[in-house]
Amino acid sequence: QRDPSLRKSGVGNVFIKNLDRSIDNKAMYDTFSAFGNILSCKVAQETENGTSKGYGFVHFETEEAANKSIEKVNGMLLNGKKVYVGRFIPRKEREKVLGEKAKLFTNVYVKNFGEDLYEEQLR
Percent residues over pLDDT 70 in the chain: 86
- What's the pTM? 0.72
Task: Output DSSP code: residue 36.
Answer: S
> Distance from CA of residue 105 to its chain's centroid?
24
- Domain 4-89 falls under CATH 3.30.70.330: yes
SS3 state at 34: helix
Q: Higher-confidence residue: 122 or 78?
A: 78
Please give the pLDDT value at position 25.
95
The confidence band for 2, taking pLDDT boundaries of 50, 70 and 90, is low
38, 61 contact by CB (below 8 A): yes
97, pLDDT greater than 80: no
Cα angle for residues 14, 61, 6 (degrees, 5° grid): 85
- 88 vs 38: CA distance, rounded Å: 15
Q: What is the mean pLDDT of residues 41-59?
A: 94
- 105 vs 22: CA distance, rounded Å: 37
What is the domain partition of the chain in residue ranges?
4-89
105, pLDDT greater than 80: no
